[in-house]
Structure 1
Amino acid sequence: MQSTSFKIYNASAGSGKTHTLVKEYLKIALSESNSFKNILAITFTNKAVNEMKERVLVSLYDFSLQSLPDKSKSLFQDLMIELNVSAAQLQKRSGSTLKYILHNYAFFDVSTIDKFTHRIIRTFAKDLKLPQNFEPVVETDLLLDEAISRVIQKAGSDNQLTKILIEFALEKIDDNRSWDITYDLNKIGQLIFKENHAQHLEKLALKNMPIFLHLKKVILKKITTLEKLIIINATIATEEIEKSGLNLTDFPYQTLPNHFKKIADKIFDPSILYSNKLQENLESGAILKKGVELPSNEFLENLFHYYIQIKTSIYKRSYLKNIYKNLVPLTVLSVIQKEVLAIEKERDQIPIFKFNQIISKEIKNQPAPFIYERLGEKYRHFFIDEFQDTSAAQWGNLIPLIDNALASEGGSLFLVGDSKQAIYRWRGGKAEQFINLASNFQNPFVLQPVVNNLPINYRSYSQIVEFNNEFFTWTSGLLNKNTYKDLYINGNQQKTNSKKGGFVRLNFITKDTTIDTTELHCEQVLSTIIEINEKNYSFKDITILVRGNTKGALLADYLSSKNIPIISSDSLLLESNLKVCFLINILQYATGFKDKELAYRILDFLAPKNTKHNFIYSNIDDLENFLFTAYNFSIKKIERLSTFDSLEYAIRQFNLAPSADAYIIFLMDVTLDVEKRDGGSIQNFLNYWNKKKDKLAIASPENIDAIRIMTIHKSKGLEFPIVIFPFADANIYNHKDKMIWSPVNSQDFEGFDEILLSEKSELVQYPNEAANLFNVETQMMELDAMNVLYVAQTRAEKALYIISEKKSSKSKNDKIVNYSDIFRSYLVQKNLWQAEKSIYDFGELESLTKEIAIDTNSEELTYQYTFRDRPNFNIVTSGGMLWNSNREEAMHHGTLIHYILSLIETGENLPNAIDKVLKNGDITQEEITSITTTINDIIQHEKLAEYYSDKYHSLNERDILTSKGELLRPDRISILNNEVTIIDYKTGLKNPKHKEQLYTYADALIEMGYTIKSKIIVYINTNIILEFV
């Protein structure tokens, strides 16, 4: 076995890793027939999967052509040499391999790691004792919300749980926080779905509630005892000062005596007590004003002794308080966990994050796991992309499968990654795995890896490459862990490509107390865009990268207000689309929320621009009647329809989708998903919408001339001509809302061998392992921050604009704690920093030659309706039936007549139609006479009667699909000898649109080969009025 069967590629940003992966893949795929079936390529995003598949197929296609395209010549030459074949042989093999793949596409295994593990679990569900038809759950928010809701509902029936929840609420009030515990339970509950916490929570599940409650009492007792000891020592220290003969004024600012007095008065907050130089002064003996002598050395030693003793106790108390604060949420966490498991079991659901846990449990302690024995027969070659983002569990599960392949003849493993781009630690990514493997440390295989560095940056122009090389080599000195330092020292020696030039700008905003800093960033971004635009670059050439969605949303709003076209995560949200919001408002109105605000929103959407005020004022008190009269839309009708059918009915009547609309199509997809899971109730859908509306977004459209705004995390793996990076001032050390598991002595903590702590800077003063863990976490934070910065600064091809902030000239703190500090320090060491200077340019962005825009007409797709009148059962809730309201009665009357007419082919069908709506509860006995009279007036009308006889073949509400893909539905067409009469029923006032609708129907029927005899609009009001079109 040759060592080259295990290769690791260190692939810095832009170094052509996809090219390398495709080359290695094709070397195997082209070596023998059908060998591609034995290859498994794993990456982390669907976009990366599609890119690799496309590159493989396009390359094979290009290679098979008689005339090889220029873009594929380099790869073709490389493969000829490495496979030792002639051009003709490679051309022939490529054609055959392409054919094999296309004919056996299911065996073309390029997959995300989640899909691969899902496939394993689905295949071996029976062996793993899982439901055969389980549903994988990606979004766990709703699952957690329901579990928490169930836990809170148990309050009152479960005495122990009730007591805990009440105590928790009271503790929050004591801490001046809201008594509402839902937020805290949701925050702690999220740990259930994070791989980093899985191992710890398994131990937690073994503890019951009484054990937690007992530990709570023990810790509270320890805190109380410590507080008494602290107060005693502080009181003794105060008395020492009083007995010394010194006056309080002998101490500078009375700091030392006040320190002990505060503690004696029960102030135990370390951030208040230890944010000064008291300890330093005590150690040096400088505790008194100049000229005042110490009473004795013993006096100083005693005060120092009490100071240190109290400080140790204060931090120990803080440590115990930290544990105590998290103990109640931790207690409830085990209850939430049980509810989550119950919901999963009830619905046959498995969250995706559990896939790795399930496999891990099955293969643990088995030398040859049965799952991999069976799979191992298939796969002999493994490609893992973005290895730095692989979690410990994912890698652990792959090791047996890969080991099996490497042990067999011809097996191979190719790992590609870059630890400098490891930015997913929060979801289990572990950069150390790649660092260790590349150093041949903790290698789980017998084979030694061959490590290859991809040296050339093919993405960026030379100025950007050189800037980043120098910048990140320098910043490596800011990392406190040597392994991380080496990563940036050795990993930033990229060679440039043939693209010379490029541009980098560091722009420092000067803070202004009168203007919000965010606004200053927005203004600077706009100024930068205008400058770039003046060099003839399109909006679509520019991408703005931000750390989080909040800043992105603010920036998007600002730029939109300045008429700059943008595509952002917010602009892609369904809730940002006016049509979608209108449809949601209609559903809300239909479910009983018939307030003026909703009516206003509905009318605001429908109102003509020039007469909006009068339009809304005229119709707001009579909305339902207006909708029925103007659009033949009945709020009452959707009360008996599912959410999906209600939306399609509204889309049709308001003509919201004259062409395919991505937002509406996605809304309908979401609706179907909700109906499948929760049923067709509109209220169920609205509940889902209210919880998920801030996450439901369409895919980003391509080739639109608009600036893209995206997070740095989403930009990973992508490249853009020009990048603007505003708000480049993020803190490096952000411990807020982070939790850490700390080992403890089980004898001191009632059998618990680890506890959960909130991360705080004071952890460095804590006892046990907490301080060490905090230091390790801080080092990893430094790497996280540097890696995010690296990803942001390596996306640009031609130009990179960084917008940061200038530290106040009054600030004496030179400690580097955020990105702006890093940029400033970099310029200082290059001797470029000038306090009065804000802009630092490296290189130059060349202007483009202005091109004449070519109008590319694209064919507009039509929206495909799927609505059908489905059999349904409903309870009578219509206002027109429940009380005497003329408007409600008229609207209900018109809708019912329209519906009954759709059930009538000939006049003889009327009794059966009436009987059906009566049984359905759509009408009452009292309404039968008036309804029957009205319908008879129509079907027996002297100018209509023949169309309701068996002389004609009549079709009611049948869909017509036009040649343009448009779906039409006339109320009735009556056919005789290829001649058609079109009949459409309307209520309310005449409207020119009614005629236009009939002309549209007629055109479609003529196109189908029919001759139009008549087009009739039947207005159903107090009297029946016909209009022949």
Structure 2
Amino acid sequence: MTAPHFPVYYASAGSGKTFNLVREYLERCLKDPEPDKVFKGILAITFTNKAAGEMKERVVRALRTFVTSDGTSDAMAQQIQANLGLKPDEFTKRCRLLLSGILHEYDRFSVGTIDKFNSRILRTFALDLDLPLSYEVEMETDRLIEEAVDRLLDIMGEDQGVTRLLTKYSTQQIRDNKDWRIQRDLLDKGKLLFQEQHRSHLEGQAGMTPKDYLEAIGKIQSRREALGHHARKSIEKIQALIDRPGQGPMLFAGKALNKWLVKHGALRYASELDMQKEKDGAATYRVGWIEKALEHHQWINLSAPAEDQSWLESHEGELHGLLTQLFEAYRADLPLSLYARNIYGMAVLTVLDRSLDEVKRERNVVHISEFNRTIADQVRQQPVLYIYERLGERYYHYFIDEFQDTSVMQWQNLLPLTHEALSKGGSSMVVGDGKQAIYRWRGGEVESFLELTAGHKPHYQSGAGLVQVPFAPEPISLKDNWRSRQQIVSFNNELYSEAAGELEDPRFVDLYRASGQSPKGKEGGHISLHAYSEKLNKEDLWPEMFQWTEDRINRAREQGFEFADLCILVRKKEEGQAIAEFLQRSGIPVISNESLLLSASPEVNVLVQFLRWKATGNTKDAVSRILLYLFDRLEVPKAERHHWLRKALNEGAVEEVLNTWMPSWDAAGWEQRTLYEKVNSLSGWIPEFPMESAYVEFFLDLCHQFSVRSKGTEAEFLEWWEDTLHKHSIVVPAGMNAVQIMTIHKAKGLEFPVVLVPAAHWAPRTADQQDWFALPEEEAEEYGLSEVFLNMNPNMLVTSPDLAQLYRRSQEALRLDDLNLLYVATTRAVDELHVAFKPDADKQGVQRYFERWLKAQGREHTPGTSDSWGTPVAVSVSEQPDEVQEEVVRGKPEEWRDKLRLSFESNRYWGLGGEARPYGVEAHRILQEIESVNDADRVLEQWEVDGLLNASAREGLEKDIRDMLARPEVAKYFDPASRSRNEASILLPNGGAQRPDRLIFHPDGGVSIVDFKTGAPSAKHRQQVDEYANLLNSAHVNVVNRALIYVGPYALDENW
């Protein structure tokens, strides 16, 4: 048995993480003489579907390179050969075996997200978990929360406990100056129910009823009243003692003590004291000061009149005792006041969770967020081997990417499986970077990764108790930066080493202190820091931010960069949206999440308005929007518009007006059409409608998906659209020359030649921080409550050591999360990095890290000015990549009913007596329909179902086509990792079209043309392919290869 392998890669930004992940994957496979079998026992887990697709593509692309004549000279190939001790011939042989195995059994190429893997397990154990076999996986959260909130509000007045609880909660909202209408607050709270870190706590509240919570609050209030009674006695005694003629306004030392006594009625109000409403955290300063004053007997105001001082000194012992009693009661009440303020919210969250469970049961859905928790329960009850026997396969090697964002529960679910693999001589590889952990809200905790990089053996909970994996991880630090130019790497090294001084947790300090990298990229690089003018409010800051952003873009353009080379990173979506709108007004092309939304398209909106009009009747709003769109497209004069609008809206002649401006409009048979058919027909009826619009294409796909999945009505579709319109976007093709704007979260894992960060001054959102606090045993027993869900409040620092620790841990996590976000933002740049921020007097925002670094450099940074390092990078035309864009033109929609006819299609393939048509013709037609090497079975089966092929003919064809696709020289034209188009139309200037059998769009931008032929090779065949190539070249498409594949018998003619 081979020794277990448990490497943990600490991969900083730009350190070649994906390179090492792919290399390790290939080494695991190629180590064995039969790598085509080994890959089936490997499970690689990535954070996103996009990352999974990229890793698959990288693996296949690497193998294709390795099997070429000079493939063994590739850097990765040489490293693998050296590590495995393989000679070039043996290495190439194994690479061919592995590539062939992956292409032939692509479904066993297990690279995917943890959710995809979890879904398979959940389906396997559906019966064990009492799940219906037909359950649906729900991805959306908002709709489920809305239904749960509606259900909860509906039972008000019927369920006495819920009614009292919600009423009390609403009253508390009013006391806290919040909206008494709690629906919006409940919708926001409901999002917490889908966050993994809260689930175990909510399950711990399962036995609690609204009555139990109300009783707990009553007990806490009784305890507070008792403390208040003791406090009032002390106050009365203090009042009686100090209330005398001639008493000065500032009797005691410090405003904190005087204000505190005035607030509690022990001292008369003094105009010298600012008694405005206190903010959260006011007690932090007050308690610290009073505690120190009482402890050291420094509570007498030495500036008070001599008579007052003398009197206080004579009564010092009695007053000190009374003040101490009052202060102790105050201190004891502080945690209780925190509990009381938060229990209602926790109770509402619990009853909302039960309402959500009822909604999911009725709708027969399992939300994707439940996967990890459900599997965790099952894994702890079942042997690991049993799980994999049920799955039908077993993995011996695990690869986990972006581990720092893997949730605690996900890691706990995987640990028993990796433990089993390591025990059998397998491997488990982990890759991550604690500085890029920016998904704590999803349950990810960087601490898990730091434990592994420290070499600590992981452990997990099983039915038998706590189990420690007996294999220590092997930490490997990737210290080289291959992405950014040297000046940028040096800047980030210095910035984050200095920033580490802002952190308190030694683990986090070490994380950043040791984050320095060795630059391996090009020399040079350019960085600039710009501070906006001081004391700008939000409205005044926008113009300055917009101008800075536009200036930086124009300078980059002057240096030779394309718009597509630039990316603007923002913390908040509204910042990105505002910048995008400004740049578009300035004539700068922009791609942003908001601009890609389907709801941003006028064409999609007019289609929605048509559906709304037909589904809900003659609504004036929908009709007016439809007509205004038509008038804009047809450039109807304004004076004429008013006439037609009045006729449609006031005279009820909507159909007549539409028939005038939409001659193709055909209302007959509308109700018989499906949703997709209605939208498709509308896009043909509307004059001057842009058929090629990607927004319309995506909207049609959305209509089809909705119809297939929910089979809902038009009205239900419109309701669903309103709920989800902010989530549906088009996918932008590569090569669009526009400035990209995205959030820092979206930019993770990406790189750009020039990065702009125009608003690097975000601050921790302390008010949003919440966490669970386990009550001390005595309090838990007294109040009948084990935990409280608390809003973080600085007052926690002076309540109890446990609450203070919780608050400090929460604040340190916030600081780390914000610093990590900044790290991700500043490490995306390849050539230039430009950052702008608002000066921070309070030193709360992330700009303090830049200010701290500048101070360490001995540089003054004046507001309204910029500092820069390095030299602006000049880009020559030869450095710009060729743009390759595939233009897809959608034809005018046609009614399928008008095209219905009796099919005699099989006659094209079979004679009157049923004898087969020539073999080559059949194979040719089938190859035209195969998208990738995995499609042969599907296409052949469909032909047989359609009556175009009998079973015996299929058997022979299947073998020959499989043999053909198994040839590496043919399989490369059916690579699942490449995009392809079969029989795509190339439009001719005269309106005609040419249709090559197959176009393959390679990741590097090149295009290959493939045509299938029968019979003997001919010069005419080459001539035909050359014509295709000339047409594409004239459209600026880079044709890199031409191929003719002959079937019956097989021959290949390529690269002429």
TM-score by length of 1: 0.79
What is the CA distance between 1:547 and its match in structure 2? Answer: 0.8
1:622 aligns with 2:640: no
Aligned to 1:397: 413
Q: How does 1:133-532 map to 2 (within 5 A)?
A: 133-243=134-244, 246-248=247-249, 256-264=257-265, 279=290, 284-285=298-299, 287-289=301-303, 292=306, 293-297=309-313, 299=315, 309-311=325-327, 313-314=329-330, 316-364=332-380, 368=384, 370-372=386-388, 378-409=394-425, 411-444=426-459, 445-490=469-514, 492-511=515-534, 513=536, 516-532=540-556
**Alpha-carbon contact 2:169-2:344 (below 8 Å) kept:** yes
**Alpha-carbon contact 2:145-2:356 (below 8 Å) kept:** yes
Which stretches in structure 1 are left out of the alignment for 5+ residues? 870-900, 906-960, 967-1029
Cα separation, 2, equivalents of 1:270 and 1:306: 27
What is the CA distance between 1:222 and its match in structure 2? Answer: 3.0
Of residues 21-30 and 633-642 in structure 1, the stretch that sits farther from structure 2 once superposed is 633-642
Aligned to 1:861: 889
Cα separation, 2, equivalents of 1:497 and 1:902: 62
**Alpha-carbon contact 2:372-2:409 (below 8 Å) kept:** yes
Which stretches in structure 2 are left out of the alignment for 5+ residues? 267-274, 460-468, 649-653, 903-981, 988-1056
Cα separation, 2, equivalents of 1:656 and 1:170: 57
SS in 2 for 1:722: strand
Letter in 2 for 1:762: N
RMSD of aligned C-alpha atoms? 3.2
Letter in 2 for 1:96: L
**Alpha-carbon contact 2:772-2:789 (below 8 Å) kept:** yes
Cα separation, 1, equivalents of 2:55 and 2:545: 37
**Alpha-carbon contact 1:657-1:863 (below 8 Å) kept:** no
Of residues 256-265 and 38-47 in structure 1, the stretch that sits farther from structure 2 once superposed is 256-265
Cα separation, 2, equivalents of 1:442 and 1:2: 20
**Alpha-carbon contact 1:252-1:288 (below 8 Å) kept:** yes
1:740 aligns with 2:771: yes
Cα separation, 1, equivalents of 2:900 and 2:481: 70
**CA 227–519 in structure 1, closer or farther in 2 if over 3 Å, else same:** farther
Cα separation, 2, equivalents of 1:126 and 1:62: 46
Cα separation, 2, equivalents of 1:673 and 1:718: 30
SS in 1 for 2:247: coil
Counterpart selection for 2:868 from 841, 847, 853: 841
Aligned to 1:872: none
Aligned to 1:702: 734
Cα separation, 2, equivalents of 1:355 and 1:857: 40
SS in 2 for 1:467: helix
SS in 2 for 1:748: helix
Of residues 177-186 and 599-608 in structure 1, the stretch that sits farther from structure 2 once superposed is 599-608
Cα separation, 2, equivalents of 1:246 and 1:723: 65
Aligned to 2:59: 56
What is the CA distance between 1:864 and its match in structure 2? Answer: 8.2
Cα separation, 2, equivalents of 1:577 and 1:193: 32
Cα separation, 2, equivalents of 1:963 and 1:383: 39
**CA 595–306 in structure 1, closer or farther in 2 if over 3 Å, else same:** farther
Aligned to 1:587: 611
Q: How does 1:64-83 map to 2 (within 5 A)?
A: 64-68=67-71, 73-83=74-84
**Alpha-carbon contact 2:503-2:816 (below 8 Å) kept:** yes
Aligned to 2:29: 29
Cα separation, 1, equivalents of 2:518 and 2:984: 56
| Number of residue equivalences | 869
**Alpha-carbon contact 1:7-1:450 (below 8 Å) kept:** yes
**CA 730–286 in structure 1, closer or farther in 2 if over 3 Å, else same:** farther
Task: Render the CA deviation track for 1:777-802: whole Å, top value 9, x for unaligned.
Answer: 11111211111111111111111111
**Alpha-carbon contact 2:612-2:718 (below 8 Å) kept:** yes
Letter in 1 for 2:697: I
Cα separation, 2, equivalents of 1:965 and 1:131: 49
**CA 758–349 in structure 1, closer or farther in 2 if over 3 Å, else same:** same
Letter in 2 for 1:616: R
Cα separation, 2, equivalents of 1:351 and 1:315: 44
**Alpha-carbon contact 2:456-2:473 (below 8 Å) kept:** no
Cα separation, 2, equivalents of 1:616 and 1:506: 52
Cα separation, 2, equivalents of 1:705 and 1:428: 37
Letter in 1 for 2:39: F
Paired-residue identity, % = 31
**CA 92–255 in structure 1, closer or farther in 2 if over 3 Å, else same:** closer
**Alpha-carbon contact 1:61-1:98 (below 8 Å) kept:** yes
**CA 447–342 in structure 1, closer or farther in 2 if over 3 Å, else same:** same
SS in 1 for 2:480: coil
Cα separation, 1, equivalents of 2:609 and 2:418: 54
Q: How does 1:934-1013 map to 2 (within 5 A)?
A: none
**Alpha-carbon contact 1:285-1:300 (below 8 Å) kept:** no
What is the CA distance between 1:342 and its match in structure 2? Answer: 2.2
**CA 362–865 in structure 1, closer or farther in 2 if over 3 Å, else same:** farther
Of residues 231-240 and 213-222 in structure 1, the stretch that sits farther from structure 2 once superposed is 231-240
SS in 1 for 2:773: strand
1:536 aligns with 2:560: yes
Cα separation, 1, equivalents of 2:899 and 2:863: 79
Letter in 1 for 2:396: R
Aligned to 1:669: 701
**CA 151–334 in structure 1, closer or farther in 2 if over 3 Å, else same:** same
**Alpha-carbon contact 1:244-1:295 (below 8 Å) kept:** no
Cα separation, 2, equivalents of 1:429 and 1:423: 8
**CA 645–853 in structure 1, closer or farther in 2 if over 3 Å, else same:** same
1:772 aligns with 2:805: yes
Letter in 2 for 1:176: N
Cα separation, 1, equivalents of 2:358 and 2:744: 37
**CA 366–697 in structure 1, closer or farther in 2 if over 3 Å, else same:** same
**Alpha-carbon contact 1:678-1:684 (below 8 Å) kept:** no
Cα separation, 2, equivalents of 1:389 and 1:307: 50
**Alpha-carbon contact 2:769-2:810 (below 8 Å) kept:** no
**CA 751–249 in structure 1, closer or farther in 2 if over 3 Å, else same:** closer
Cα separation, 2, equivalents of 1:855 and 1:430: 41
SS in 2 for 1:111: strand
SS in 1 for 2:727: coil
Cα separation, 1, equivalents of 2:175 and 2:867: 51
What is the CA distance between 1:611 and its match in structure 2? Answer: 4.1
Of residues 842-851 and 784-793 in structure 1, the stretch that sits farther from structure 2 once superposed is 842-851
Letter in 2 for 1:40: L
**CA 760–159 in structure 1, closer or farther in 2 if over 3 Å, else same:** same
SS in 2 for 1:567: strand
**Alpha-carbon contact 2:253-2:299 (below 8 Å) kept:** no
**CA 754–251 in structure 1, closer or farther in 2 if over 3 Å, else same:** closer
Q: How does 1:82-161 map to 2 (within 5 A)?
A: 82-161=83-162
Aligned to 2:651: none
Cα separation, 2, equivalents of 1:83 and 1:616: 77
Letter in 1 for 2:870: G
Cα separation, 2, equivalents of 1:649 and 1:315: 72
Aligned to 1:719: 751
**Alpha-carbon contact 2:683-2:691 (below 8 Å) kept:** no
SS in 2 for 1:19: helix
Letter in 1 for 2:703: T
Of residues 103-112 and 178-187 in structure 1, the stretch that sits farther from structure 2 once superposed is 178-187
What is the CA distance between 1:835 and its match in structure 2? Answer: 3.6
